[in-house]
């Protein structure tokens, strides 16, 4: 059977000008939600590290530079399309406020917010060279990942956000939207903006204890304590 490999990616980016978190989408004639993707020519002995490096190189082609520690590939989807077996590496990328909003003419940015009452994701159009179209779809991955045999983009987004929510229990992954250092307040603010409900520490000491395996304080002259993810932890979790 013939095979094909591609990479789909979800970007989460904080913008301090509007105080919102955005994700990038691909435009289409049907005005349907579409996750950005590109084909990946996979070598025989390639690994997840190779796929991750390919993503970084591809973004350089888009005039966007991302930190290698801000790219995660939580799972690979396997689907069938016209008798072709398709392997899809699904990535999530955290862009910091230092990264510029970059859009090609077939891309848009949408603000991300979860509605807990109705249990759906609300993606509101932010900017891009297209008609302003908003998206709403149910969250089918509330308690666990959802099988996606038909490669539905909404389910891809749901599963990625389930991964992000899960990771917040072990390390403050959303802090990567501040770059390579962040404060406790920033992490909690990003959780609130996305609508992610997790247990929040009451102070820095509790925060440090909660994430003792994954973060370390940055020693500087600032009154507010900043943190960074331990390099060994990032190496373990980013693949």
Instruction: For residue range 166-181, list pLDDT tens digits in order.
Output: 999 889 999 999 999 9
d(CA 7, CA 91): 7
Report the domain count for the chain. Answer: 1
Domain interval for residue 88: 2-237
Q: How far are the Cα atoms of 46, 52, 70, 81, 173 from residue 177, in angstroms, in the given order?
A: 29, 18, 9, 35, 8
Predicted structure pTM score: 0.93
pLDDT at 214: 95
Say how far apart CA 84 and CA 82 lie, in whole Å.
5
Task: Note the pLDDT tens digit of each residue in 29-86.
Answer: 899 999 999 999 888 888 889 999 999 988 876 667 788 899 999 999 999 988 899 9
Instruction: Tell me the backbone φ, ψ of residue 64, rounded to 5 degrees.
Output: -125, 130
Return phi, psi of residue 37, to 5°.
Answer: -155, 160
Chain centroid to Cα 41, Å, comes to 23
pLDDT value, residue 59: 82
**147: CB partners within 8 A, 6+ apart:** none
Q: Model confidence over 97-131: pLDDT tens digits?
A: 655 566 667 889 999 999 989 999 999 999 886 77
pLDDT of residue 164 exceeding 70, the answer is: yes
Decide if 50 contacts 58 (C-beta within 8 A). Answer: no
pLDDT at 97: 63
Q: Quick one: pLDDT at residue 100?
A: 59
Looking at the predicted structure, is the pLDDT value of residue 239 above 60? no
pLDDT level of residue 93 (50, 70, 90 thresholds):
very high
């Amino acid at each position: 059977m013939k095979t094909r490999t591609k990479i789909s990616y979800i970007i989460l980016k904080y913008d301090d000008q509007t105080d919102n978190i955005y994700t990038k989408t691909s435009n289409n004639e049907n005005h349907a939600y579409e996750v950005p993707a590109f084909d990946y020519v996979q070598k025989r002995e390639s690994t997840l590290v190779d796929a991750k490096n390919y993503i970084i190189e591809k973004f350089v082609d888009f005039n966007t530079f991302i930190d290698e520690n801000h790219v995660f590939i939580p799972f690979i989807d396997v689907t069938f399309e016209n008798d072709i077996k398709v392997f899809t590496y699904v990535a999530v990328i955290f862009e910091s406020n230092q990264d510029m909003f970059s859009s090609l003419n077939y891309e848009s940015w949408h603000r991300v917010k979860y509605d807990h009452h109705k249990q759906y994701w609300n993606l509101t159009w932010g900017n891009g060279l297209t008609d302003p179209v908003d998206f709403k779809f149910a969250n089918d991955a509330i308690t666990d990942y959802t099988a996606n045999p038909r490669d539905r983009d909404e389910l891809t987004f749901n599963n990625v956000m389930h991964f992000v929510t899960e990771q917040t229990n072990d390390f403050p992954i959303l802090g990567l939207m501040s770059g390579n250092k962040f404060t406790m307040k920033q992490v909690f603010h990003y959780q609130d903006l996305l609508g992610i409900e997790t247990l929040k520490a009451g102070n820095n000491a509790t925060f440090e204890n909660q994430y003792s395996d994954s973060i370390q304080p940055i020693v500087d002259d600032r009154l507010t304590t900043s943190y960074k993810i331990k390099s060994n932890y990032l190496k373990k979790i980013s693949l």
